[in-house]
Amino acid sequence: MDIGAQEHVAFKGTVGILGAGRVGTAIARLAVAAGYRVKVATSKPAADNELIIEIVTPGAVAVDAAEAAASDLVVVAIPLHKYKSLNADALGGRVVIDAMNYWAATDGDIADFENTHLSSSEVVSAYLADSRVVKSFNHIGYHEMEPDAADPETPDRRALAVAGDDENAKSLVAGFIDTLGFDSVDSGDLAAGKSFEPGTNIFNGRFNAAELAHALQHSLATA
C-alpha cells in the first residue's frame, strides 16, 4: 500500500455539516473562512438551530439534515453511537467525511464496533452503503482545529490522515482539507483508518505531513 502525499483536487461546492457540536462548528467556521457555502444541521429542525448557528458559526446557514445531506461534500460529526440516525438514503451518492470516533467511555460499548475486526469507518460505510465515505478530521481535537490551521507554505503545517476506498473522493476531501488549513496524507483504504483511531500514536499526536506518513507506515508495518 502506498502512503504519501494525498493528491487533491480543487473543490468549490457546498459543504454540509451534520452535527453542530464541538467538531461540527469548528469545521464549519474553518469552511466559512475558506469561502465555502456552509450548511449546518442537527437532528432538530433548522429553526431550532438558527440563532445558535448565527452566533457560533457566523456565515453558515442552519438547515434541516436532509438539506445538509444534499451538499456536494458532507461532514458527519455526530456521536458515533447515533450513526444509525443518519439518513443513508439522503446521503446516497455523496462524498461523506466521517470525523467520528468510537470511544466506549462516551459512546458506551456498541456491539457493532466491539465485535468486529473492521475499522469504525468501515462499519459506518456499510451503513451508508451508497455514499463514498472518507475518514478524516477524527484525530485532531476540536479545540486544535482553528489554532493549528495554517497557510499551505507554513513550515511544519499540521497534517491530517485521509482514508477511503474511493480515490476521487479522497482527492476531493484532500482539496477541502488543504483549503481549511492542513496538509493531508493518504493512509490507504478505509480499513487502514484503524491506524488513526483512538488509542493509536497518531490519534494522540500532532504531525506534519512527513511525520504522519512515517507514523502511518510504521503503524501498518506493526499491524
Ligand X SMILES: NC(=O)c1ccc[n+]([C@@H]2O[C@H](COP(=O)([O-])OP(=O)(O)OC[C@H]3O[C@@H](n4cnc5c(N)ncnc54)[C@H](OP(=O)(O)O)[C@@H]3O)[C@@H](O)[C@H]2O)c1
Residues near ligand X, by CB under 6 A: 18-24, 41-44, 65, 77-80, 82, 85-86, 99-101, 103, 138, 141-142
How far, in Å, are 54, 101, 137, 203 from residue 105 at the CA level? 32, 11, 20, 16
For strands 37-41 and 14-18, give the pairing.
parallel
In the complex, the smallest distance separating the C-beta of residue 135 from ligand X, rounded to whole angstroms, is 10
Identify which of residues 138 and 219 has a Cβ nearer to ligand X in the complex. Answer: 138
- Give backbone dihedrals phi and psi of 46, rounded to 5 degrees, phi first: -55, -40
In the complex, the smallest distance separating the C-beta of residue 202 from ligand X, rounded to whole angstroms, is 13
In the complex, the smallest distance separating the C-beta of residue 89 from ligand X, rounded to whole angstroms, is 13
How far, in Å, are 26, 121, 127 from residue 107 at the CA level? 21, 15, 18
The residue with its CB nearest to ligand X is: 21
Nearest to 71, CA basis, from 94, 53, 46, 44: 94
Identify which of residues 59 and 198 has a Cβ nearer to ligand X in the complex. Answer: 198
Identify which of residues 1 and 104 has a Cβ nearer to ligand X in the complex. Answer: 104
Identify which of residues 65 and 192 has a Cβ nearer to ligand X in the complex. Answer: 65
